[in-house]
Structure 1
Amino acid sequence: MGYEQALNAYIDATNTHRFDEVSKLLAPNALYWFTDTSCTSLDEIQAYFQNAWDTVKEEVYRAEDVHWIAVDERQAVCTYSYHWEGYVRGNHASGQGRATNVFVKDNEGAWKLIHEHLSPSE
Structure 2
Amino acid sequence: MSYEQALKQYINATNTHNFTNVKQLLHEDAVYWFTDKTCETEEEIQRYFENAWNVIKEEVYSAIDVQWISVDEHSATCIYTYHYEGYANGQFVSGFGRATNLFVKDNDGNWKIKHEHLSSLQK
Q: Deviations over 1:50-98 (max 9, x none)?
A: 0000000000000000000000000000000000000000000000000
Name the SS of the counterpart of 1:84 in structure 2.
Answer: strand
Match of 2:36 in 1: 36
Q: For the residues of structure 2 that align with 1:89 and 1:70, how far apart are their CA atoms?
A: 40
Match of 1:71 in 2: 71
CA deviation digits over 1:17-64, x for unaligned, max 9?
Answer: 000000000001100000001000000000000000000000000000
Establish whether residue 102 from structure 1 lines up as the match of residue 97 from structure 2: no
Tell me the distance in 1 between the aligned counterparts of 2:106 and 2:121.
32
Q: CA deviation at 1:4?
A: 0.2
Residues in 1 aligned to 2:10 and 2:67: alpha-carbon distance in whole angstroms: 16
After TM superposition, what 4+ stretches of structure 1 lie above 2 angstroms from structure 2? none
2:11 corresponds to 1:3: no
What is residue 83 of structure 2 aligned with on the other side? 83
In the other structure, the counterpart of 2:15 is 15
RMSD: 0.6
Find the aligned partners of 2:28 and 2:21 in 1 and give their Cα distance: 14
Mind listing any 5+ residue stretches in structure 2 that lack a counterpart?
A: none
Q: TM-score, normalised by structure 2?
A: 0.98
Taking the aligned partners of 2:120 and 2:35, their CA distance within structure 1 comes to 7
- In the alignment, structure 1 residue 62 sits paired with structure 2 residue 72: no
Identical columns (%): 61
Q: Which residue of 2 aligns with 1:47?
A: 47
